[in-house]
Amino acid sequence: MEKILSRIHPVSDPEATYFLQVSWEKDLGTGFGIILCDGQCAWTGTVSEAEISREAADMEMSREKYVEELKKALIAGEESAGKYNFAISRDEENMECHFSYERNLKDCSFRLGSLKLQQVSSPAEVVKELIGYCLDCLGRQQAKNKHLQKENERLFNDWSDVEKRLEKCVAAKEELEADLYNRFILVLNEKKAKIRNLQKLLNEAKESAADAKCTRDSIATTEMATGRENDYGGSTDEESENLTRASLPSAREQRDSLLGSPDVINTTPRRKRRQRTAKPAGTGAKMA
Confidence class for position 229, pLDDT limits 50, 70, 90:
low
Q: What is the mean pLDDT of residues 208-231?
A: 77
Calpha distance 79→75 (Å, rounded)? 9
Query: 56 versus 255: which is more confidently predicted?
Result: 56
pLDDT tops 90 at residue 75: no
DSSP letter for each residue of 24-69: ESS-GGGEEEEEEE-SS-EEEEEEEHHHHHHHHHHTT--HHHHHHH
Q: Which band of pLDDT confidence, cut at 50, 70 and 90, is reported for residue 181?
A: very high
The CATH number of the domain covering residues in 2-121: 2.170.210.10
What is the residue type of 263? D
Between 246 and 32, name the one with better pLDDT: 32
Cβ contact 7:78 at 8 Å: yes
List beta partners, residue 215: none
Q: For residue 11, name the pLDDT band (cuts at 50, 70, 90).
A: confident
First to last CA, the chain: 196
Higher-confidence position of 181 and 40: 181
4: amino acid identity, one letter:
I
- Beta strand 96-104 with 18-24 is unpaired
**Number of neighbouring beta carbons within 10 Å of residue 115:** 14
| Highest averaged pLDDT of the listed ranges 12-21, 251-260, 274-283 | 12-21
The 18-24 sheet, strands edge to edge: 2-8, 18-24, 31-37, 42-48, 109-119, 96-104, 84-91
When pLDDT is averaged across residues 35-48 and rounded to a whole number, the result is 87
Counted residue by residue, the chain has a size of 288
The two beta strands, 84-91 and 42-48, are unpaired
Instruction: Please give the model's pTM, rounded to 2 decimal places.
Output: 0.52
Question: How far apart, in whole angstroms, are the C-alpha atoms of residue 71 and residue 4?
Answer: 11
What average pLDDT does range 33-47 have in this prediction?
87
What are the sequence ranges of the domains in the chain? Answer: 2-121
CA 90 to chain centre: 71
pLDDT for the residue 267: 44
Residues forming a β-bridge with 6: 20
The more confident residue out of 264 and 11 is: 11
Query: Model confidence over 142-174: pLDDT tens digits?
Result: 999 999 999 999 999 999 999 999 999 999 999
Condensed to tens digits (0 to 9), the pLDDT of residues 87-116 reads 888 877 767 888 888 888 777 777 888 888
Residue 155, pLDDT score:
94
pLDDT at site 230: 59
